[in-house]
Amino acid sequence: MEKSQVLTPRESCKLINSKGSLVKSNETGIHKVSEMIFKGITEHGFSRKIWLKSDLNPKTPNQEAIDWIFLVDTLNFSFWPDEGNSKFGVKDHNGKLQTGYWSLCAAVNRALKVGIPVTSAEFMANATLEQIKTIFRSDTNGEIPLIEERLKAMNNAGRVLLEKYFGSFAMCVMRAEKDVHKLLSIIIDNFESYRDICQYKENTVSFLKRAQILIADIWTCFDAKDLGEFHNIDELTMFADYRIPQALVALNALEYSEKLKQILKSKEPISSGSETECEIRGLSIYVCDLIQERVKEMSKENGSSVEVNAVLVDYFLWEWARDNRSTIEELPFHRSRCIYY
């Protein structure tokens, strides 16, 4: 497929907003969320330094950190359990049980602590199913979903790094020359599991959740310096997953049709790549773009200068969703099992 035929995530969300019927934006909610984020930045110090908040993230900005981020984002998808099953969970170095994305981080750190070079390209390329079952063993009765798909993504990524990038994703970053579009192209052209692309009506749309968050995580880990410096970081969109749409609905920035609400309440699976899923993800990107623009307007009106982009809007909403789990779960998230988020 020619790249020119694939709409970018931002082009995709505008198209979906113009043609969709199940999801729409809500101006009142958008303004409310924008005020929350503006206050979070100006009064509570929210910034890209949020990366340092978690003990599970690498703290030293070096090649090892990039390799850690690359592995984690290669496997950063689909942690929710099937109905009736227990959540996958892993205890971290402090003995705290982590679930969701953080369970993945805890499992990777646990492996590294006992000398398993899980972030090395050679290990990734040659890992077996038995090895990753051991690495991603759960400390609960639940299991990590899509284990074979994770192995395939890991093996493919490791082989590509060895064959083309001297065994480290840091080389991909260097070849991108501080340009997010160049780095996105390198990722999508070379690493199969990152091709978050599908059909919506007569168009080929993309969301690129994991490819974009991979770049954003490097940007935040390096505090926008050295290998984390990108002159056009603001051109990334939010990372369309299942938690941010749920948060946007809870905050009334997104509105679902009654038909869609009933599907979600019944916990009926929604096919990956379906028009329904595309509308949920596309409108989430669209609304987050409106929010970041509104925050910029507030900053200008206030005579202040704040750093805000879709990355930070996403990070803020993800943190808010984690801290307000009972609120967001009044309406279940959309259940689309896939490797893209």
- Report helix, strand or coil for 6: strand
Residue 286 tokens, joined: 């669209």
- Report helix, strand or coil for 24: strand
- Per DSSP, 52 falls in state G
Q: Which candidate in 241, 289, 314, 323 is catalytic?
A: 241
Establish whether 241 is a catalytic residue: yes
Do the Cβ atoms of 108 and 72 come closer than 8 Å? yes
Task: State the virtual CA torsion across 282, 283, 289, 291 in degrees, nearest 10.
Answer: -150
User: What is the spatial distance between Cα 270 and Cα 23, in angstroms, rounded to a whole number?
Assistant: 14
82 class by beta-carbon count within 10 Å (0-12 exposed, 13-18 middle, 19+ buried): exposed
- Report helix, strand or coil for 203: strand
Residue 321 tokens, joined: 């969703």
| Strand intervals (E) in the chain | 23-25, 89-91, 97-99, 197-200, 203-206, 254-256
- Report helix, strand or coil for 286: helix
Residue 267, Cα to own-chain centre: how many angstroms? 22
| Ramachandran angles phi, psi of 108, nearest 5° | -65, -45
The set of catalytic residues is 241
